Amino acid sequence: SRCRAAKRRLGAGGGPAGRRPLGEGGLGEREPAGQTARACPGFSDGNSKWLAPAKAKKSQRKGNHVELSSDGEVEEGSWEMEEEDGSSREMVDDYGASSSEEEELLPIEKAALKQKPEREGLSEDDSEEEEEEEDEAEEASKQKMGQKEEQGPDLQLNLDIDEQFKLPTSEEIEKEDILFICDIHKPCPPDLHIIHQRIQGNMEVLQDFGVKREEGRSRQEYLALLRRDMAAYYSYSDFLLTKLMDIFPLPELINFLEANEVPRPVTIRTNTLKTRRRDLAQALINRGVNLDPLGKWSKTGLVIYDSTVPIGATPEYLAGHYILQGASSLLPVMALAPQENERILDMCCAPGGKTSYIAQLMKNTGMILANDSSAERLCSVVGNLHRLGVTNAVVSNCDGRQFPKILGGFDRVLLDAPCSGTGVISKDPAVKTNKDEKDILRCAHLQKELILSAIDSVNAASETGGYIVYCTCSIMVEENEWVVDYALKKRNVRLVATGLDFGKEGFTRFKDHRFHPSLKSTRRFYPHTHNMDGFFIAKFKKFSNAIPQAQKVAALSIAPGTIITEPPPKKKKLEASKADKEQEPPQPALKKKCSLQAQRRPLKA
């Protein structure tokens, strides 16, 4: 730093070459580091002892140097320091490096050096005013620190009190509702941090309810508050949250709700009709795509982490080497396990991902009938089938409920039924609020009609097939287990293993309902456990083409011990026929027979 200061003064041209007295510069010139600031305005004599220069180590100059002469002048040159042990080293003069004197400077001295250029341009009055302002600021900060110290124990007590969760009263809840609404047209959002803390405290109490519960409070009150807070925090309707609380235990419910706030990973399926997964992965890696295999259960899937190019517009995508498809959409086709040269029906095929996967597994042999009731959605099906090179598919636009009357005798049927979409909330957050009880029951009724139609379209006498796969992207029991149990009662089918190594078993009992024990072979998939969209899969095997009569099914459904008050319908018909015969007039031939029989009888005495 001294070298730089000396060179600046020499460049200014003041004094003889190579020498310049210290302290003769103007106001804007900088003094060497470590020099005292007693002559500077704004510094009192009391601070001078803190600003004294640090003592330098004993050193012997060697060669050219810059030194302080007896009259306080600088000599130009380069510095070399010779240590006590005799070794010599050259002083470092890099930008940002500090000398031994600067390393020993106190923090107040460094602050004084920074503020010196600003203070040199101020008058004495201004400096005095600044000193007064600094003193006032210090006093105010001391007062604040004293107040915080006084409030410290109280704050600690409040934290200790808040550790034990207590249910808010009805009045407090009403006050919160009033505070949340500032204006009729502009409602204020609730304090999510407070609600989140209350959810955590409530969950801790419910997990150990016998010990941590508040006296005089029931479990229903805690659950009602938890449902209200979850609906506010995660933006769900009260109806849907009640349904989810019936399906999941409370800790798992929190994980499910959190997983729905995060999008699922982007996955693609390799089209083995045109390329191999290894070659496709290498081509995409060369384009700057970071990917990995989807899992051991899939031989064609790839998961995309990030990419420098748009995945849906690469040359490989346009050439039909892969298709963007969710991981859960691969599972129904794997459960269906189509074989070559079979006749297969995809009853609800749009947008064509499952249809193309079936054709891929069949190696473009046999025949696939891709049906959908929406003509607009069939456009995407046709486009994907052409791009992927599928040549064994026929596209139709029919109502699936009327399909057995149109065409039947298929070896296998895949039914991806329309549903409420409660398994894909991460893709469509509107499901959180726009679904109610009527929507669920309407979907369940349609699914029951479609599954009976799908079963009737299968040929039970098929040598290789006779299977039906039913799947939905919903987690509601009304759309899954209820529909499957209904099909088991209405048709000659039984449930078989899906062939999938993972997934949770379906429900055999739910609240007051009891389902067929074979529903354990169905599979459920959740976003918080399998990191894929919520899905349900069931696989049927049809063992007879005959349709059971409704009367037998009704007789089986009657519980033992019940008394039938009304007579069976057959007896009613017999009685009605007898009454009709009595009311009818006798025919002439019968009249003659009766008269002849009366003549032949002997007369009584």
Provide mean pLDDT across the span 549-564. Answer: 46
Burial class (CB in 10 A: 0-12, 13-18, 19+), 240: buried
Residue 561 known to bind ligand: no
Greatest alpha-carbon span in the chain: 181
Structure confidence at residue 81 as a pLDDT band (50, 70, 90): very low
* pLDDT of 118 strictly over 80: no
One domain for residues 302 and 210: no
DSSP state letter for 265: P
Residue 350 known to bind ligand: yes
One domain for residues 203 and 301: no
Q: What is the CA radius of gyration of the chain?
A: 44
Cα–chain center distance at 373 = 31
119 domain residue, yes or no: no
369 domain residue, yes or no: yes
Residue 148 known to bind ligand: no
Q: Using alpha carbons, select from 324, 319, 349 the residue that is nearest to residue 336.
A: 349
Kind of pairing, strands 509-510 and 513-514? antiparallel
One domain for residues 457 and 411: yes
Residue 62 known to bind ligand: no
* pLDDT of 189 strictly over 50: yes
Tell me what pLDDT residue 144 has.
Answer: 54
* pLDDT of 582 strictly over 50: no
Residue 363 known to bind ligand: no
Residue 72 corresponds to which tokens in the numbers above? 């306080």
List CB contacts of 38: < 8 A, sequence separation 6 or more: 45, 48, 51
One domain for residues 308 and 179: no
List CB contacts of 5: < 8 A, sequence separation 6 or more: 30, 31, 32
* Residue indicated by tokens 């991806």: 416
Contact (CB, 8 A) for 394 and 369 = yes
One domain for residues 279 and 370: no
Q: How many Å from the N-terminal Cα to the C-terminal Cα in the chain?
A: 162
Across 55-59, 209-213, 307-311, least confident range = 55-59
Residue 352 known to bind ligand: yes
Residue 56 known to bind ligand: no
Q: What is the pLDDT of residues 295-348, one digit of tens each?
A: 899 999 999 999 999 999 999 999 999 999 999 999 999 999 999 999 999 999
Q: What is the pLDDT of residues 454-511, one digit of tens each?
A: 999 999 999 988 999 999 999 999 999 999 999 999 999 999 999 999 999 999 999 8
Contact (CB, 8 A) for 346 and 359 = no
Of 216, 234, 252, the position where a domain reaches its end is 234
> What range defines the domain where residue 276 resides?
265-324
One domain for residues 492 and 391: yes
Tell me what pLDDT residue 194 has.
Answer: 84
Contact (CB, 8 A) for 432 and 420 = no
Work out how many domains the chain is built from and give that number: 3
Give the rounded percent of residues in the chain with a pLDDT score beyond 90: 48
Report the C-alpha gap between 146 and 499 in whole angstroms: 71
Provide mean pLDDT across the span 223-238. Answer: 90
Tell me what pLDDT residue 497 has.
Answer: 95
What does the angle CA 73 – CA 79 – CA 84 come to, to the nearest 5 degrees?
Answer: 110
Higher pLDDT, residue 553 or 588: 588
566 domain residue, yes or no: no
Mark residue 19 as left, alpha or beta (left: phi above 0; alpha: psi -120 to 50; beta: remaining). Answer: beta
One domain for residues 226 and 275: no
Q: What is the pLDDT of residues 408-447, one digit of tens each?
A: 899 999 999 999 999 999 999 999 999 999 999 999 999 9
Q: What is the CATH number of the domain that holds 420?
A: 3.40.50.150
* Residue indicated by tokens 């529903």: 519
Residue 399 known to bind ligand: yes
Higher pLDDT, residue 175 or 411: 411
- Determine the 3-state secondary structure of 445 from DSSP: helix
DSSP state letter for 394: E
Residue 372 known to bind ligand: yes
One domain for residues 305 and 340: no
Report the C-alpha gap between 276 and 284 in whole angstroms: 12
Structure confidence at residue 193 as a pLDDT band (50, 70, 90): confident
One domain for residues 367 and 506: yes
Core vs surface per residue 9-22: b (16+ CB within 10 A) or e: bbeeeeeeeeebeb
Catalytic (active-site) positions: 473
Mean confidence (pLDDT) of the chain? 76
